[in-house]
Amino acid sequence: MAKDYTVKQGDCMSSIAFEQGFFWQTLWNHSSNANLKALRKNPNVLLEGDIVHIPDLTVKNESGATGVTHKFKRKGIPEKLRMKLLDASHKPRANLDYIIVIDGDSRRGKTNADGELIERIPPNAKTGKIILAGDNTHPITLSLGQLDPISEVSGIQSRLRNLGFYKGPIDGKLNEATKRAIRAFQTKQGLPTTGVADEATKAQLQKLHGH
């Protein structure tokens, strides 16, 4: 039965679709979610309180012989986690060995020439960690689906913290610590140092951070 779903912190379109039995593209491109799509622009970055319309499921019939076992595989799973690892000078950490742990599943990998880490993960994964080669005492903690839109102060704080410019809490408050971080980012990027996250600052922050 069709219904409206209220987004919770940690949700993204992939996790919502997975829990409801859909491909994320079906929900994201559904006409009743057009306003949400236009507002958020990225299916992986929703805001707590957003409303996602869940349409009725479509039943698909498949023919098959009786008396034998048939296997059906659901398409579209898993999702991809894509991150770019940078050093203190914001240069890509290329060809870096790492261990990633998602929902107890541990595997090894290596960043590519651009410093990117690309791994397949369950659509509804919430937490994980990355252990970099030679540094097993400082793992990178992953809070999947927790990134707010860049239109929100909390979204700006999260991106600045991920890039090393902000050390405070993600509380959505435009306090002096947040303004200092914005100014530091603007100075580093050659933007006017105002402490205000104008459209040019947001665009550069989103470009450097990704999403």
Closest Cα partner for 150 from 209, 82, 80, 86?
209
CA distance 196 to 174: 9
Q: Where in the chain is the domain with CATH 3.10.350.10?
A: 3-54
Instruction: Note whether 144 and 119 are within 8 A (CB).
Output: no
pLDDT above 70 coverage of the chain, percent: 92
Q: What is the pLDDT of residues 121-158, one digit of tens each?
A: 999 888 899 999 888 778 888 888 889 999 999 999 99
Q: Where in the chain is the domain with CATH 1.10.101.10?
A: 153-209
CA distance 23 to 8: 19
- Radius of gyration of the chain from its Cα atoms, rounded to whole angstroms: 20
Identify the CATH homologous superfamily for domain 153-209.
PGBD-like superfamily/PGBD (1.10.101.10)
Fold of 79-143: Immunoglobulin-like (2.60.40)
Q: What is the pLDDT of residues 70-80, one digit of tens each?
A: 665 655 567 88
What pLDDT was estimated at residue 197?
Answer: 96
Question: Burial letters for 190-210: b for 16+ Cβ neighbours within 10 Å, e otherwise?
Answer: ebeeebebeeebeebbbebbe
Predicted TM-score (pTM) of the model is 0.77
Instruction: Note whether 139 and 147 are within 8 A (CB).
Output: no
Is the model's pLDDT at 104 over the cut of 90?
A: no
Q: Where in the chain is the domain with CATH 2.60.40?
A: 79-143
Fold of 3-54: Membrane-bound Lytic Murein Transglycosylase D; Chain A (3.10.350)
What pLDDT was estimated at residue 59?
Answer: 67
